[in-house]
Amino acid sequence: MKRLSLKVDSKGRIQVPKELRDQLGMRREVSVKVENGTMTIEPIERIFDRLAGEVRFNFTSVAGELPRLRKAAEEELLRQTS
**CATH number for 1:** 2.10.260.10
**Are residue 60 and residue 39 in the same domain, yes or no?**
no
Residue 70: its pLDDT value, please? 80
SS (H, E, C) the chain: CCCCCCCECCCCCECCCHHHHHHHCCCCCEEEEEECCEEEEEECCCHHHHHHHHHHHHCCCHHHHHHHHHHHHHHHHHHHHC
What is the Cα–Cα distance from 9 to 82, expressed in whole angstroms? Answer: 31
Give the number of domains in the chain.
2
**Are residue 3 and residue 37 in the same domain, yes or no?**
yes
pLDDT at 59 over 60: no
Range of the domain at 67: 47-81
On whether the pTM is more than 0.75, the answer is: no
**pLDDT tens column, 17-42:** 999 888 888 877 888 899 999 999 88
**Are residue 35 and residue 60 in the same domain, yes or no?**
no
**Are residue 29 and residue 66 in the same domain, yes or no?**
no
